[in-house]
Structure 1
Amino acid sequence: MTSSTNSKDNRKPINILVIGGSYGGIAVLNQLGKLLKEKETKTETGESDGVSARGAAAKVVITLVEPKNGFLNVIGIPRCMVSADFASTQFVDFESFKNFKFDKVISSDAETAKIAARSNSDSSKPDRTGYVLQWIQAKVTKLEESYAEYQMEYSGEKEVIDFDYAIIASGRDRTYPVAPKARSKKEFVDEMQSFVDSFKDKDVISIVGAGAVGIELSSEIKLHFPEKQVNLIHPHATLPPEPLSDDFKSKVVASLENAGIKLLLNTRIASEADGFLTTTDGRQIRSDFTFWTNSKNNNLAFLGDKIRKSYLSPAGNLYVNKFFQLSYNDQTLPNVMGIGDVVELPIIKTAGWAMYMGSLVSQNIIELLSGNEVSNAMIASEDIPKGMLLVGGNADIISQNQGKIEVNNKEFVELYKTYWVDRIVYSYNNA
C-alpha cells in the first residue's frame, strides 16, 4: 500500500500504524490527533519547529487497521449476551466519534463504503493539514519491525503497509461469543440474539469459570431469566481470581448468593455429556446448557518470528518497558509499542488502563517525532492501585477503587446503566 504524499513537499510521509480499534486504539486516534493538531497550530504561529524528524512539511499518516466498522464496548458483553436490544447500544459506529473523523476509509464492504462516502462529504470533519487519518477494514496477519501485512475483510485481498511507528492494541480473545466475530452492528446483534436463543428454553444453566466475565454473565442470566437455575462453577475457594481484598471478594460472593445463583467453588469439571457435568472428584451436576469462561488469549498470532522470539512472554504477553516500547533484557524496539490487554504488566487489565496507556503512547510518539527522548512512563508497579468494578447479582455494582470497597456507589450505578459507553463517546466528542 502506498500512502499519499504532501502536495507541497515530496518528502516521504511519517506513517503511524494502529492495530486494533478498541479502548486503547481509539484513545491513540483521539489523543495523537489532538496533539498533532496542537503541534500544527504552534508551527503556524512559530512556536514549534514542526515534525523535526523529517521537517515541518512532512505529512503524518495515521492508519487504523480494524475489522469492525465501529467501536464495540466489550465491557458490556455479558449483558449483550442476554439482550439483543442492549447489544445494539454497545456497538458504536466510528462516525459517532467527532474528534477523529476519517479522511479516508478503505474497505471492500458495501455498507462500509457508505460510511466512507458520508465521511468524505462530512462538513463537520476537522480541518487539518498536518496529518491524515485513515481506516482500513482488515486484520493484520503479520507484523515485522517496519511493515505489516493485512487481509481485507469481505474480499480477502492481501496488502502490505510500511510504518515508522506501530501501536499494538489488538486486545484479547475469549470464548465465542464473548469475543464476537461481528464486523458490523447488525452482525453483532444477530450473534447476541443467537446466543440467547441457544439457552432460553433450557432450565439449568452452568457457567464454568468465575472471572469477571463468568461472574457478570451468570448474574445477567439470572437477572433476565429469574426462573432458571444458574450454576457458577469455579475451581478455587474464592472469586474473582484477581489479587483483590478479601472484603471485595466476600461482597461479590454475597451478591451472587443473594440473587439465587448457585455457587460451586473448589469444583473442577472433568467432562460434559448427556446433560451432566462430571467433576474431577466424581460428582455429577445437571446442566442443560454449559458455557465456559475459563480461558483467554491475546490477539498476537500476527507477530513475526523475530518479534515473537524477542518480546513475547511465556504467558503470551508482550514485554514492554515503562514507555510501552517492546523491550526485553538488553533489546528494545523503540518504534513498536504495545498497550492494553496484550502487555506484560502487573496490573488488573481494564478498559481504563488501556485508554491511559493509549494517551501516554501518543505523547511519546509526539516526542519522538520532535526528535526528543520519550518521557511519559507507566507509573511504578508499587504505586499501581488494585481495583475492579463488577456487576454482581441483582445488578449490584461491587467496586474496589482507590482502596475503597462499596456496593452500589451512585456514580458507578449510573455509569453501568450503559456500561460506560455514553461516557466514552462523550469524552471523545468533547475533549
Structure 2
Amino acid sequence: MNTRMPHVLVVGGSFGGHAFAYKLISLLLEKKIPLPHITLLDPRRGLLNPVAIPRSLVEPRFAEITFARPGEFSREMIDNVDFVHAKASYMTDTHVFVKSPLYEDTLQLKYDFALVATGRHHPDYIMPSQPTKEEFLALMNFYVLKFRDANHILIVGGGAVGIEVAGELRYHYPSKSVTLVHPHAELPPEPVSEKFKRRTLEALKILGVDVQLNTRVKTETETGVITVDGREITADCVLWTSSRGKVVTEFMDKEIFENVLDSTGALKVNYHMNLSGGQKSFENLYAIGDVNDFPVIKTAGGAIHQAAVAAQNVARALAIQCGREDTWPERASIEPWGIHTAILIGKEMGVSQLMGLGDSAGYKESAAFFGDDMSTSKCYESLGIRKSTRLRTLEDSHDGSVKALEKTAASLSVRETTTSV
C-alpha cells in the first residue's frame, strides 16, 4: 500500500503563491483532511507588498512595513510549509530542479500538484528581487537619496507604476521638477474608461507633474534622454517604468509545455486555473497572476482571487484521494471579471474603476481604497500575516536554508546530485 504523502509544490512566493498555500491549508484543516507536504520555492526570505513600492522609493520609514519576514507569517504557514529560498531552474510535468547559492548541489524534487506563480521580470525598483529585508531596505534607501539629491526627475512610461511614482515624488518633493513621458496619446495603457484616463491626467497635473504624451524615448544620455523625434529632455535622474517585463517561464520544459505556452511565454489556463491549451491539459498543474494568460488586468488582488480557485481544486483532489468525494462535489472555476483597478496618485488622490461602482468615485474616495498603507495591512490580513519579534522558520539563517533543502529532498526520497540541468 502506497502511503507516501502527496507533495504540493508552489513555484513563486509573492502574493499569489503565498495566498494559494495559505488557502489550501485553511481549507484542508477546516474539512479535517490530511495535509500534504507543501514546498514553496522563492529566493526572497519574506513577503513583499509590490503595491507599496512607489511610496517605499521615497519614504524610508514606509518601506519598513512593506516587507514581512517569515516569522511574521501565519501559524498555519510556519507549521506546514517548507520555505526554500531558491529558484526553479528546470521543470517538467512531474519534477522540478532546484538551485540555490546556499547549496552546492542541484536537487530534483518530484511533485503531485504544482502551482506556478512566478510573475514577470521587472527592474529592481519596480519589483525588488533582494532576498532579505535588510537588502530591500538598502535598495529603497538608495533611491530615497537619489531622488532627494535630484532637482529634475524624469519618469519614462505612463503605466500604473510610472503614474504612482510620479505622484509620490511630487507629493513628497513639491519643489522638485517631475516629468512623466508616455509614448501614447492617453494614459494609463490598460483598457480602462475614457473618464479614468482623463481623471488620471488631471490628477497628475493638479500635483504639478509635467506630463508629455506622444513622446517616445530613443536613448538615455548623461544629461537626460533623447526622443525619437530628436528632442532632448534634460534630467538629473531618469527612471524607466515603461518596460512590461517578460513572464517568468523560461525554466519550464518547452517540449512538454509547448501547447500551454503562448507566443509571449505566458501559460494558458482554463477557468479552473489549470494549464490548458488545445488538446493538452494538465489537471495537476495550475498558474495564477501575471504568469498566465487569463484575460484580466493583472493586480495583486486578482492573483489572490485566482489562488483561491486553484487551492480549492487541489484541496478537492486531495479529498478525493482520501475517499471524501462529497467534500467539494464540483471543481471551482472563475470567469474573467470586469474592470477592477485603481491607481493612487500622491497620498490624497486616486482614480478607480471598480466592479459595482464603475468610475464614479472621486479622487479622495479612490485614494481611500488603499488605506494609509497602500493596501499592505489589507493584503497581509487576508494572508494571516501577523507581527512577531522573533523569526521562527528554518530559512532565517544560512544553515536553515540548507536544512530546508535537505529536508524537502529527503522526505521525497528523490535527491540527485548534478552539476547542471
Task: Identify the range of structure 1 (297-306 vs 326-335) with the bigger mean alpha-carbon deviation.
Answer: 297-306
Give unmatched runs, 5+ long, in structure 2. 387-421
Cross-structure match for 2:5: 13
Instruction: Give the AA of the match of 2:383.
Output: Y
Question: Structure 1 residues 36 and 153 mapped into 2: Cα distance closer, same or farther (>3 Å)?
Answer: farther
* 1:211 paired to 2:166: no
* Offset of residue 180 of structure 1: 1.3
Once the two structures are overlaid, the 10-residue window that deviates more, 191-200 or 180-189, is 191-200
Please list the CA deviations of residues 211-263 of structure 1 after superposition, one character each: whole Å capped at 9, or x if unmatched: 01100011111111222111100000100000000101111000000111000
Aligned pair partner of 2:89 in 129, 141, 150: 141
Determine which of 112, 129, 151 is the counterpart of 1:181. 129
- Structure 1 residue 414: Cα displacement: 6.3
Structure 1 residues 26 and 12: alpha-carbon distance in aligned structure 2, compared to 1, 3 A threshold: same
How far did residue 18 of structure 1 move?
Answer: 0.7
Partner of 1:230: 178
Report if the CA contact (8 A) 2:152-2:235 is conserved: yes
Aligned partners of 1:156, 1:212: CA distance in 2, in Å? 40
- Provide the secondary structure at the position in 1 that maps to 2:372: coil
Go from structure 1 to structure 2 and tell me whether the alpha carbon gap of 1:157 and 1:73 turns closer, same or farther (over 3 Å shift): farther
For structure 1, which segment, 263-272 or 293-302, has the greater mean C-alpha deviation from structure 2 after superposition?
A: 293-302
- For 1:54, the equivalent position in structure 2 comes to none
1:165 Cα shift?
0.4
Local SS of the residue matching 2:255: helix
Give the equivalent residue in structure 1 for 2:397: none
Q: 2:280 aligns with which of 313, 324, 331?
A: 331
1:367 to 312, 316, 323: 316
> What are the Cα deviations for residues 109-167 of structure 1, in whole angstroms up to 9, with x where unaligned?
xxxxxxxxxxxxxxxxxxxxxxx422112111111101111112444542121100000
User: Normalised by the size of structure 1, how large is the TM-score?
Assistant: 0.82
The question of 1:71 aligning with 2:47 is answered yes
8 Å contact 1:205–1:290 — kept in the other structure?
yes
Task: Classify 1:90/1:394 alpha carbon distance in 2 versus 1 (closer, same or farther; 3 Å).
Answer: closer
Higher RCO (Cα < 8 Å, 6 or more apart): 2
Q: Conserved in 2, the CA contact under 8 Å of 1:398 and 1:405?
A: no
- Equivalent-residue separation in structure 2 for 1:398 and 1:392 (angstroms): 8
Structure 1 CA distance, aligned partners of 2:129 and 2:56? 14
What are the Cα deviations for residues 30-69 of structure 1, in whole angstroms up to 9, with x where unaligned?
11001111232xxxxxxxxx57xxxxxxx61111111111
Structure 2 residue corresponding to 1:193, chosen from 114, 136, 141: 141
Q: Decide whether the 8 Å contact of 1:144 with 1:306 is kept in 2.
A: no
- SS where residue 151 of structure 1 aligns? strand
Closer/same/farther in 2, CA of residues 329 and 374 from structure 1, 3 Å limit: farther
Mapping 1:297-316, distance limit 5 Å: 297-316=246-265
CA RMSD, aligned part only?
2.1
Partner of 2:98: 150
Q: What CA distance in whole angstroms lies between the structure 2 residues aligned with 1:199 and 1:316?
A: 35
Residue 88 of structure 1: aligned partner: 64
TM-score (norm 2): 0.84
The corresponding residue for 1:386 is 339
- Residue 34 of structure 1 corresponds to 26
Distance 1:205 1:257 in 2: 15
Change (3 A) 1:368 1:374: farther
Residue in structure 1 matched with residue 354 of structure 2 by the alignment:
401
Deviation of 1:348 (Å):
0.3
Please name the residue that 1:124 is paired with: none
> 368, 373, 377: which one pairs with 2:333?
377
Any stretches of 5+ residues in structure 1 without a counterpart? 1-8, 41-49, 52-58, 104-131
> 2: distance between equivalents of 1:156 and 1:218?
43
Compared CA separation, residues 157 and 212, structure 1 to 2 (3 A): farther
Report what 1:128 is aligned to.
Answer: none
